[in-house]
Chain A
Amino acid sequence: MLSLTYFPLSPPPPLLLRRTTTTAPTPRPSRPLRATARNIAIEEEKDDAVVVRGRRVGEDPPLPAGLRREAMPGHVAVIMDGNRRWARMRGLPAVSGYEAGLRALKGMVEMCCRWGVRVLTVFAFSSDNWLRPKVQVGFLMRLLEGGMKDELNNFMKDNIRFSCIGDSSKLPDQLKELITYAEERTNHNSGLQLIVAVSYSGKHDIVQACQSIALKVKDDVIEPEDINEFLIEQELQTNCTDIPNPDLLIRTSGELRVSNFLLWQLAYTELYFTNSHWPDFGETEFVMALQSFQQRQRRYGKRDS
């Protein structure tokens, strides 16, 4: 970030500028004043803003120090691991860990909205998690339902589009209906897209995509030799978004594996592992993950440019 003192007579150079309180103000262009106090306040606010590349800097919330806006990941995915370990370390029951995890998720959504991430996919419940004790599974289902009911108004207010991926056939009916309702209600929102993976398996995602394609082969719509990666990608459950492949995957709690999450989609994703448990993953930790991401060179198998 550059902070420059510039003189009223010369225009500011086309660099990213941040006005400090010690700089001299630019001369205000003369314009007809309107009578109302509110309009005067709006005019004053507009005149104080610094315009960079046709956009007022004030419209984009500032990024934390060291992060470059042009290098922000478009799609961030998270494996929210460690809720039960977090609770155990504090002598709390597992359910407290899940509740704390939900709070961390809300914080993550808010940061992504603020910093211009376009898609956030979170691994809320894996198909493997059905094997956990019934009491825990029941609690998680209720927590998901409660969380969605609480947040639906916020989704509308913050222009968040909600989507759900996974095998919904095993979910309780009420949760299924709530998911469908939330997806329909937020479908036209154009801000952050929040994709929640519930009862999701990366392998099953690929299998169901292949089954859809096999149906087309069976119906003579396509030949087996026409099957390609593009066709499969169109049938994966992440076809609900324009950016199906995450740029960055964060996994908390120190486990170094992807655990059947978005297997196809992670082909070129930068992986970031942290020892923090999910309920402790806040702004500091997310900034560190983003800084790590921004330092990486993504070559996709080619030579360095």
Chain B
Amino acid sequence: MDGNRRYAKKKNLEEGAGHKAGFTSLMSMLKYCYELGVKYATVYAFSIDNFKRKPEEVQTVMDLMQEKIEGLLKEESIVNQYGIRVYFIGNLNLLNEPVRVAAENAMRATAKNTKCALLICVAYTSTDEIVHAVQESCLDKWEAKASNGVENDKKGEIQEVNGVEREEKHEEHRAIQLVDIEKHLYMSVAPDPDILIRTSGETRLSNFLLWQSSNTLLCCPRALWPEIGLWHLVWAILNFQRNYSYLEKKKKQL
């Protein structure tokens, strides 16, 4: 959702007004998506890199997020309108407590919704997500090894006698597989995205969904995020549908 600050500058608005306009755009775009039958929508709300911005700006965005997250739980909100399950994706420990608590409440409150999903990436980068997944995979294997420790010792003795201890170590070394990492990614709650839209004309991923976007159609409209409209979404979907059969074939191959 790139371009909020440039939008505020362009319209001579005060600081923070661009992000508010961006939130309005977000609500519209989500409605269009869910009306069109899209099941999963993921948005890049706040990157770990964004913590490097001026503290006042970070605080403004955090305050806005807290306000809007709490707003999601109100009766008239989009969440209830469309039966959306909300996930907060990222290293939530990096958030200040009020925002983190609001996020956890929202996830708990919407856990029973099944019609569609909204994934909000906060304190997120793809590389951080992968690091976390590797740490969890190692801890998993470590715990499995520790709980099987007695058995393994016995096996170890037998294998030394049989001279295949080296092979067993080799197999353990290969223990972390692609499925282990995928299982522990924050984004494992949703399938890979079909379309990735980045506004404001910048054509880069900025550490967003690197693992998941391998075969995703990338769309980079020039419009700033608060300027985005239904036609941008429709254009992206039309392009996606043109390539659909080829992309489905690729997915099956993988």
Chain A interfacial positions (CB closer than 8 Å to B):
128, 131, 202-204, 206-207, 210-211, 213-215, 217-218, 224-225, 227-229, 232, 256-260, 263-264, 266-273, 296, 298, 300-304
When distances are taken between beta carbons in the complex, the residues of chain A under 8 Å from B81 are none
A301 near B131 with CB under 8 A, answer: no
Q: From residue 104 to 137 of chain B, which have CB atoms closer than 8 A to chain A?
A: 125-128, 130-131, 134-135, 137
Q: Which residues of A contact B131 (CB under 8 A)?
A: 227-229, 232
* Contact across chains for A128 and B138 when beta carbons are under 8 A apart: no
- Distance between A291 CB and nearest chain B CB, rounded to angstroms: 14
- The contact string, 1 if C-beta is below 8 Å from chain A, for chain B 1-45, is 000010000000000000000000000000000000000000000
A-B contact pairs, 20 of them (CB 8 A): A128-B250, A202-B214, A206-B181, A210-B137, A210-B176, A214-B138, A214-B141, A214-B175, A218-B172, A218-B173, A224-B138, A227-B138, A229-B128, A229-B131, A267-B126, A268-B204, A269-B205, A301-B50, A301-B52, A303-B5
Which of A225, A271, A298 meets B135, CB within 8 Å? A225
Contacts of B140-180 to chain A: CB distance below 8 A: 141-142, 145, 172-178
Contact B130 A206 (CB under 8 A): yes
Taking beta carbons and an 8 Å cutoff, which residues of B are in contact with A?
5, 47-50, 52-54, 57, 125-128, 130-131, 134-135, 137-139, 141-142, 145, 172-178, 181, 202-207, 210-211, 213-219, 239, 250, 253-254
Chain A residues, Cβ within 8 Å of B142: 217-218, 224
**Which one of B54, B173, B202, B213 contacts A258 once the chains associate, using CB atoms below 8 Å?**
B213
Return A285 CB to nearest CB of chain B, in Å: 16
Q: Are B181 and A210 in contact (CB under 8 A)?
A: yes
Q: Which of A214, A225, A229, A271 lies in contact with B204, CB distance below 8 A?
A: A271
**Contacting residues, chain A, for B218 (C-beta < 8 A):** 256-258, 271, 273
Which of B47, B53, B176, B177 is A303 in contact with, Cβ under 8 Å?
Answer: B53
Nearest-CB residue, chain B, relative to A296:
B202
CB distance from B179 to the nearest CB of A (A): 10
Contact B210 A301 (CB under 8 A): no
Q: A215-B173, A259-B215, A271-B204 in contact; A224/B139 too (CB < 8 A)?
A: yes
Residues in B with CB closer than 8 Å to A298 are 204
Other contacts beyond A257-B216, A264-B126, A303-B53: 16, CB < 8 A = A214-B134, A214-B176, A218-B141, A224-B135, A258-B205, A264-B210, A268-B204, A268-B207, A269-B205, A271-B218, A296-B202, A296-B203, A300-B49, A300-B206, A301-B206, A302-B53
Q: Which of A232, A263, A302 has the most CB of B within 10 A?
A: A263
Shortest distance from the beta carbon of B225 to any chain A beta carbon, whole Å: 15
Please state if B214 and A207 are interface contacts (CB–CB under 8 Å): no
> 4 tightest CB-CB pairs across the interface, nearest first?
A301-B49, A267-B207, A224-B138, A214-B176
Give the distance in Å from the alpha carbon of A206 to the alpha carbon of B47 in the complex.
21
Docked complex Cα distance between A131 and B253 (Å): 8
User: In whole angstroms, how far apart are the Cα atoms of A266 and B127 in the complex?
Assistant: 11
Q: A203-B178, A213-B134, A218-B173 are in contact. Are A259 and B203 (CB under 8 A)?
A: no
Contact of A257 among B138, B173, B207, B217 (CB under 8 A): B217
- Beta-carbon nearest neighbor of A130 in chain B: B253
Whether A128 contacts B254 by the Cβ 8 Å rule is yes
In the complex, the chain B residue whose C-beta lies closest to that of A204 is B178
Contact: B211 with A203, CB < 8 Å? yes
A271 touches B203 (CB 8 A): yes
Q: How far is the CA of A224 from the CA of B178 in the complex (A)?
A: 18
- Once A214-B173, A269-B204 are accepted as A-B contacts, the answer to whether A229 and B137 lie under 8 Å apart by CB is no
Give the complex CA separation of A229 and B174 in angstroms. 20
Interface pair B176/A207, CB less than 8 Å apart: yes
A263 in contact with B49 (CB, 8 Å)? no
Q: Contact partner of B176 among A131, A202, A211, A266, CB < 8 A? A: A211
Name the B residues within 8 Å of A206 (CB-CB): 130, 181, 211
Docked complex Cα distance between A142 and B221 (Å): 41
- In the bound complex, do residue A260 and residue B214 qualify as a contact, i.e. CB atoms below 8 Å apart? yes
Q: Tell me whether B47 and A301 are in contact (CB under 8 A).
A: yes
> Once the chains bind, are B176 and A302 in contact (CB under 8 Å)?
no
CA A217 to CA B53, docked complex, whole Å: 35
Once the chains bind, are A302 and B134 in contact (CB under 8 Å)? no
Most buried by B among A131, A210, A302: A210
Residue pair A267, B135 in contact (C-beta under 8 Å): no
Q: How far is the CA of A210 from the CA of B130 in the complex (A)?
A: 9
Q: Is the CB of A266 within 8 A of B203?
A: no
> Would you call A259 and B214 a contact (CB within 8 A)?
yes
Is there contact, CB below 8 Å, between B176 and A263? no
Q: Which of B135, B211, B213, B253 has the most CB of A within 10 A?
A: B135
Contact A272 B203 (CB under 8 A): yes
User: Are B205 and A271 in contact, with the CB atoms below 8 A?
Assistant: yes
Residue numbers in B under 8 Å from A267 (CB-CB): 125-127, 205-207, 210
